[in-house]
Amino acid sequence: MNKEKPLSGKKILVTREKNQAASFARLIEEKGGSPVVIPLVAFVAADDEIRILEELGRLHTYQWIVFTSVNGVRFFDCFMKKGGFPLPQKIRIGAVGEKTARSLETIGMKPSMIPKVFSGEMLAEEMAQTAASDDRVLIIRGSLSNRAVYKRMKEKGIEAAELILYKNQPVPGRNGELPLLLEAGKIDYATFTSPSIVHSYMQNTEGLSAREPVFVCIGDVTAETLKDYGYDGLIASPFTIEGIVERIIAHVNEEES
C-alpha cells in the first residue's frame, strides 16, 4: 500500500447532498482516491411553516433543544430568522457530533452536551442521566431522520417533542449515470451517510445486475437500513466522514495483505 496515498486507484462514490459533498471528496483526494460525486438526496424546508413557527415561538417553554445533524442546525437558523425569534437565555443545547456542535457555534449557540459516541442513542442515554424529571426537550430533525433520541427519552420518562424542519428528497443519480458507472465496474466503494441515501441508492439501481461495490456506512442505523435490503456494509469508526475514509483505508489494507 502507498502509505502517502493509500486510496490510490480506488474510485469512491460520494452520495451526500451537493452542499456537503465537496468536503468529503477532498478527504478522499487527500488520500489518493478518486471521488465520484453523485448526490442522491436533497434537503428542502418542511412544508408546514405555520406550525414550525408556532412551535419555535414557544421555545421558551422547553429546557432543552437537541440537534442531531448539521442540516437541522441550518434549517433551525433559517426558521428562527424568519420568525424573528431570540434564543431563550436559559435553554440548554444537545448536539450529536462535533460537526453539529461546530455548526451550532457558527450561529452563536454553544452546546452543553455532546455524547462521547456520536450517536443519537448515546445522546439520549446521557440526556436521561442529566435532565431533570420535569424538563421538556425539543428534538430538531428531518423527515426521515432516526427517531432513536425521541424513543429513548420516552422510555426514560423524559417529556420530549419532535419538530421536523426539513425533508429528504431522493434525486436521480446525475440523470441515470450511476447505473452506467456501476455496470462498467467503475465504482469500488459506495458510501452512505444516512438511511435516506441508502433508500435513494436502491431506487436508483433497482433491477441492476452489475457487481455491487463495497458499501460503507457512517453508522449503525444506516447499516441496519442497508441490511433491510439484504446487504452488509462496512461501518465507520467514528461515525463521521473521516471515519468512513479510515474504514475504507483499513479495508484496502486488509484486501492487499
Report yes or no: 90 and 66 within 8 Å, Cβ to Cβ.
no
- What is the pLDDT, as a whole number, of residue 3? 75
Nearest-angstrom CA–CA distance, 39 and 20: 9
Q: HSE on the CB side for 65, CA within 13 Å? A: 25
Q: How far apart are the first and last CA of the chain?
A: 9
What are the φ and ψ backbone dihedral angles of 36, each rounded to 5 degrees? -115, 100
Task: Tell me 86's DSSP state.
Answer: P
C-alpha cell at 99: 460537526
pLDDT by residue for the chain (257 residues), tens only, comes to 677 899 999 999 999 988 889 999 999 999 999 999 999 999 999 999 999 999 999 999 999 999 988 899 999 999 999 999 998 888 999 998 888 899 999 999 999 888 876 667 777 788 878 888 788 999 999 887 778 778 878 887 889 999 999 998 888 766 678 989 999 999 999 999 988 899 999 999 988 888 889 999 998 889 999 999 999 999 998 888 999 999 999 999 998 87
Query: Is 188 strand, coil or helix?
Result: coil
- How far is Cα 246 from Cα 175, in angstroms, rounded to an integer? 30
Conformational region of residue 77, where left means phi above 0, alpha means psi within -120 to 50, and beta covers everything else: alpha
Which parts of 39-176 are beta strand (E)? Answer: 41-45, 64-67, 92-95, 136-142, 159-170
C-alpha–C-alpha distance, residues 101 and 110, integer Å: 7
Among candidate residues 104, 102, 97, the one with its CA nearest the CA of residue 77: 104
pLDDT, residue 24, reads 95
Nearest 5°: phi and psi at 26?
Answer: -60, -40
Residues 8, 140: Cα–Cα separation, whole Å: 39
